[in-house]
Amino acid sequence: MPDWMQPIADALDHRQSPGTVFFRDDDAGWEDQRLFALLDVFARHTVPIDLAVIPAALTPALAAALLQRMAQQGRGGIGVHQHGFAHVNHEVEGRKCEFGASRDYAAQRESIESGHELLIGAFGTLADHIFTPPWNRCTADTAKVLQDLGFDALSRDVTARPLAGTSIAQIPVAVDWCKLRPPGAGTQALAERIADALATERCGIMLHHAVMDGADLDLLDSLLPLLRDHPMSHCSPMIDLLLGDRPLADTPTAAL
């Protein structure tokens, strides 16, 4: 085992019961070849991965390629869900946000519905009813739209502020791989953050294939077998987190 993974192995060894690990890769629709390279790593180790797909960036060729891979890998190998609509910033000032304060309920609903229709048209029932907002940011109006449209869950960062007046299930990510390991950086911060997240019930790891290089893939090539095989780790598709015996919300999920 590579030395950089020792804190991760130690964190798993200290668990009293198995914890859940999931991977969410954002921005499918950009940099297809890098996406395929990432998917090859996960397929090689039979670890599930969920793709947050930008509806407006999804091409017929990419949809066909993903459908072929999904058929080859079987249920739970690759999940697909909605990542905003076009991944564009609508805010004049402040942090980037596609579904921020400058857009009201009606504007957000139009974009989310349009994106949903594109994903259903491409993937049919294989598209999970999960929504990841670009930059992990959105408003209470976004959550209200998702509830009204019958989405099952919202996925943001674990540090995101709660959204008032909503009970939609949350599937937060806790590890931002690319932020913790920018190009040329070492692995200590990444390993420590993964270890910290593994001390909790669920460890969600966010990837961005479009900015990941061969070194990142090599690290994943080493990490995935540990997370797959360790008795205190269970690698799960995101959708299964809504179906297990530890629900994320008290309200039942709705079907679109």
The confidence band for 86, taking pLDDT boundaries of 50, 70 and 90, is very high
> Is the model's pLDDT at 60 over the cut of 90?
yes
- Which pLDDT belongs to residue 75? 84
- Count CB-CB contacts under 10 A for residue 92: 7
The span from the CA of 175 to the CA of 201, in Å, is: 14
Global confidence as pTM? 0.93
Contact yes or no for 241/202 (Cβ under 8 A): yes
> Is the model's pLDDT at 221 over the cut of 70?
yes
The confidence band for 244, taking pLDDT boundaries of 50, 70 and 90, is low
pLDDT tens string 128-172: 999 999 999 999 999 999 999 999 999 999 999 989 888 899 999
> Which amino acid makes up residue 57?
A
Token reading at 172: 């937060």
- Which pLDDT belongs to residue 42? 99
- Phi, psi angles (nearest 5°) of residue 28: -60, 130
- Which pLDDT belongs to residue 184? 76
The span from the CA of 129 to the CA of 126, in Å, is: 9
Q: Mean pLDDT of all residues in the chain?
A: 93
The span from the CA of 125 to the CA of 212, in Å, is: 30
Q: Which residues pair with 81 in a beta bridge?
A: 52
The confidence band for 93, taking pLDDT boundaries of 50, 70 and 90, is confident
Contact yes or no for 47/18 (Cβ under 8 A): no
The span from the CA of 132 to the CA of 27, in Å, is: 10
Helices (H) then strands (E): counts for the chain: 8, 9
Superfamily of 3-242 according to CATH:
Glycoside hydrolase/deacetylase (3.20.20.370)
Domain borders along the chain are 3-242
If you average pLDDT over residues 34-52, what whole number do you get? 99
The span from the CA of 53 to the CA of 41, in Å, is: 19
Contact yes or no for 81/132 (Cβ under 8 A): yes
Nearest alpha-carbon partner for 176 in 196, 149, 161: 196
Ramachandran region, residue 76 (left: φ > 0; alpha: ψ -120 to 50; beta: rest): left
> Is the model's pLDDT at 109 over the cut of 90?
yes
- Phi, psi angles (nearest 5°) of residue 206: -95, 130
The span from the CA of 237 to the CA of 80, in Å, is: 10
Largest CA distance in the chain: 52
Terminal CA-CA length for the chain: 44
Least confident of 65-69, 94-98, 211-215, 240-244: 240-244
pLDDT tens string 123-132: 999 999 999 9
